[in-house]
């Protein structure tokens, strides 16, 4: 009988009707259960001709007080939701919405011109229950009742921690479930600070791992590695590079120059010359992709503070540029379609957005960004505390991203010195859509007690790996969950999905 079910499912995949047939032929075990908030269930999502067979919920979770109201969108796992782990996804910024992750990266559907939605064959909810949280207050549909949105890294972590506890009040079936925190970019700060809150304060969830893409981990390393990235990728001339090495480190042949340690005017001048590339109109998120609005606009936006080459060790994070409402927050990124979709009255109604949230949804908030106080110049102690508590960590990097480049992530992990011997980089492979095995990138692992620390590059991807390389991102995500989830339930899900994806590729 189940062979017949499988055949029908595969035929439906080939015809683009998977969701309708899956719902008809496969039994469901709902993760939400009878205690889930029925008034927050999304009955029908505008833009879908066929509604999903798994549950969607959208509503609000409070932070440390009811003043902070954080919007969440919960997507039930497509397969065995009662057994699949719970994963929280956070986009970065600070000030960018996690609905970017849901609707443009790893969610079950992607927004396309219309605006409307199409199903994503590489959605992460195939192997996990996905919780997308718009944080901090002032981002997306999230708000503070008194209008105060100024925050910092620690307060953001505390609010996110309390939001998780509130989520468990609404969805008590997830108590005791394996739990992962994922994200990208400034989530390199959000994720470990929240994870440490869970460790120190306790939680009904079983924290198993962190999965963060192109993360900001250490301010000085990010600055120094960005300069090396410019040189390695041919974005500056050799003469200017040698001048910077000579003026900042005293030797053109030095193997590794720490530019941020030198305060001389000549070093600053040399670095400023190299930095001109950053404001040249280059797409910093993917140096081989075009800018959506063309190359005339300088890249001064929400990530400008990542490239403030101020060699002052006392300055934890340089302040971001003060943006006004007319300036584009994320240069080179086209957010027209996602903004048009989420600002439709019928979409806001379906997501239970209250009328008092009268501002239009924005991909990133300039107000949140300019009022945000950066608390951490270095997250080494946070990651080490988590690893010593047997929480596994995977940091993956698209290798053509300049904002949070792969060199800096690798240097950061090497500096943690979690084991005596440094592992070597080895290739990792995946089955591409043309059925050939291809090199996905490079990886290396360290082990500490029962935890694994993993570094992975994704070949040809920029800052948003699930958007640029969705198949590769799904493979990395599913493998990490499989390696760090209790029991064998997820392994069976991943094995089944791998087979289905392979047969789906053969049929198309």
d(CA 99, CA 89): 9
Residues in Cβ contact with 231 at an 8 Å cutoff, skipping those fewer than 6 apart: 241
Smallest CA-to-CA distance from 41 within 88, 70, 74 is with: 74
d(CA 127, CA 41): 21
- State yes or no: cis peptide before 203, omega within 30 of 0: no
Q: Determine which one of 401, 406, 461, 479 is catalytic.
A: 401
d(CA 240, CA 220): 21
Residues in Cβ contact with 418 at an 8 Å cutoff, skipping those fewer than 6 apart: 384, 387, 446, 447, 448, 453
**Is 98 marked active-site?**
no
Q: Determine which one of 335, 463, 468, 479 is catalytic.
A: 463
Cβ distance 188 to 95 under 8 Å?
no
Residues in Cβ contact with 44 at an 8 Å cutoff, skipping those fewer than 6 apart: 51, 350
**How far, in whole angstroms, is CA 355 from its chain's centroid?**
29
Cβ distance 464 to 285 under 8 Å?
yes
**How far, in whole angstroms, is CA 487 from its chain's centroid?**
26
Smallest CA-to-CA distance from 261 within 225, 228, 224 is with: 224
Angle at CA of residue 289, ends 442 and 310, nearest 5°: 80
d(CA 101, CA 473): 12
d(CA 301, CA 320): 8
**Is 305 marked active-site?**
no
Angle at CA of residue 389, ends 383 and 393, nearest 5°: 45
**Is 237 marked active-site?**
no
Q: Determine which one of 32, 97, 185, 461 is catalytic.
A: 185
d(CA 405, CA 185): 10
R_g (Cα) of the chain, nearest Å: 22
DSSP secondary structure string for all residues of 151-187 = EEHHHHHHHHHHHHHHHHHH-GGGTT-EEEEEEETTH
d(CA 93, CA 96): 5
d(CA 340, CA 158): 32
Cβ distance 190 to 156 under 8 Å?
yes
Name the residues annotated as catalytic.
Answer: 185, 401, 463
């Amino acid at each position: 009988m189940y062979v017949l079910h499988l055949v029908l499912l595969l035929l439906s995949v080939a015809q683009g009707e998977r969701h309708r047939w899956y719902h008809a032929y496969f039994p469901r075990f709902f993760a939400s259960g009878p205690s889930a908030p029925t008034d927050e269930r999304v009955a029908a999502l505008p833009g879908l001709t066929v509604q999903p067979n798994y549950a969607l919920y959208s509503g609000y979770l409070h932070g440390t007080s009811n003043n902070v109201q954080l919007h969440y969108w919960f997507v039930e796992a497509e397969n065995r939701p009662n057994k699949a782990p719970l994963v929280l996804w956070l986009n970065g910024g600070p000030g960018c919405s996690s609905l970017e992750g849901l609707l443009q990266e790893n969610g079950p559907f992607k927004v396309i011109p219309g605006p409307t939605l199409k199903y994503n064959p590489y959605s992460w909810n195939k192997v996990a229950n996905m919780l997308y949280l718009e944080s901090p207050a002032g981002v997306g549909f999230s708000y503070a009742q008194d209008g105060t949105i100024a925050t910092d890294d620690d307060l953001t972590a505390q609010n996110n921690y309390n939001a998780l506890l509130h989520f468990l009040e609404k969805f008590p079936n997830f108590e005791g479930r394996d739990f992962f925190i994922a994200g990208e970019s400034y989530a390199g700060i959000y994720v470990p600070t929240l994870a440490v809150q869970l460790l120190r304060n306790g939680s009904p969830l079983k924290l198993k791992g962190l999965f963060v893409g192109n993360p900001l981990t250490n301010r000085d390393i990010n600055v120094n590695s960005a300069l090396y990235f410019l040189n390695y990728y041919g974005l500056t001339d050799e003469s200017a590079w040698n001048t910077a090495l000579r003026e900042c480190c005293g030797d053109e042949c030095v193997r590794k120059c720490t530019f941020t340690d030198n305060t001389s005017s000549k070093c600053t001048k040399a670095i400023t010359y190299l930095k001109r590339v950053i404001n040249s109109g280059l797409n910093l998120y993917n140096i081989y992709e075009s800018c959506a609005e063309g190359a005339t606009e300088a890249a001064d936006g929400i990530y400008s503070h990542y490239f403030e080459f101020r060699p002052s060790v006392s300055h934890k994070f340089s302040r971001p540029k003060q943006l006004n409402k007319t300036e584009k927050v994320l240069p080179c990124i086209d957010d027209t379609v996602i903004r048009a979709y989420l600002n439709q009255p019928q979409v806001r109604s379906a997501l239970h957005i209250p009328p008092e949230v009268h501002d239009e949804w924005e991909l990133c908030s300039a107000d949140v960004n300019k009022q945000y106080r950066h608390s951490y110049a270095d997250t080494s102690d946070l990651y080490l505390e988590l690893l010593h508590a047997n929480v596994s960590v995977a940091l993956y990097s698209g290798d053509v991203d300049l904002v949070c480049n792969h060199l800096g992530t690798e240097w950061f992990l090497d500096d943690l010195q979690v084991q005596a011997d440094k592992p070597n980089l080895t290739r990792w492979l995946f089955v591409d859509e043309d059925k050939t095995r291809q090199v996905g990138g490079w990886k290396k692992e360290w082990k500490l007690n029962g935890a694994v620390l993993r570094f992975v590059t994704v070949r040809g991807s920029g800052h948003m790996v699930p958007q640029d390389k969705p198949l590769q991102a799904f493979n990395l995500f599913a493998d990490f969950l499989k390696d760090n989830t209790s029991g064998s339930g997820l392994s069976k899900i991943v094995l089944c999905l791998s087979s289905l994806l392979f047969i789906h590729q053969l049929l198309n």
